[in-house]
Structures are given as C-alpha cells and as structure tokens.
Structure 1
C-alpha cells in the first residue's frame, strides 16, 4: 500500500529524510496558496502521526490517505 504513495511522499519530503516535518508541511501549504502557521502545520501532522514523533512517515501518510 505505501508504495502506491511513495512518489507523492518523496515530492513532499523535500529534505529526503523519509519524514514530512512541520517545516515541509508549512512550505507545501505556501506553495499551494494556503499558507498556514507552523502551529497549524504541527496540528495537521499530529492528526496523521501515529507514533507521536511529530513527523509523518510514508506508512503514516499512506494510512491517512486510505
């Protein structure tokens, strides 16, 4: 399942560390024309983040999309 979303995830994971951070989420929303604060980005990540590390892994991303 995660492989289905790997390409999209890699685009969002700007620094290539295998995780989507608050900074990357904030930048993504700016690019999409919907700027958000870092606090709002952290809240969005928290809704997806299953292991509580404050980051979104590919597995968490794919699980959220499905």
Structure 2
C-alpha cells in the first residue's frame, strides 16, 4: 500500500530525508492555498504519527490515507 503513496510522499518530503515534518506539512498547505498554523501542522502530524517520533514516515502516511 505504501507504494501507492510514494510519489505524493516524495513531493511533500522536501528535504528528502524519508520523513515529513510539521514544517514540510505547513509549506505544503501554503502551496495548496490552505495555510495552517505551526500548531495545526503539529496536531496533524500527531494524528498520523504512530511511533511518536514527531515525524511522518511513508508507512504512516500511507496508513493514514489508505
């Protein structure tokens, strides 16, 4: 299932570290014309973050969207 979302994940993962941070999510939402606060981004990350590291892996991203 993760492969279905890999391209989208790669676009969001601007620094190409294999993880999506709150900063990357904030930037994405600005580009999409739906700006969110840093607190909003952190809350969104928390919803998807299963391992509690404060970052979203491809697997977590795919699980959330799938």
TM-score by length of 2: 0.96
The within-5 A match list for 1:1-66 is 1-66=1-66
- Which aligned segments of 4 or more residues in structure 1 are displaced greater than 3 angstroms? none
Compute the displacement of 1:59 (Å).
Answer: 0.2
Aligned to 1:28, what secondary structure does the other structure show?
helix
Separation in 2, partners of 1:25, 1:65: 15
- State the superposition RMSD in angstroms: 0.5
Structure 1 segments unaligned to the other structure (5+ residues):
none
TM-score, normalisation: structure 1: 0.96
Aligned pair count reads 66
Provide structure 2 residue ranges, at least 5 long, that are not aligned to the other structure: none
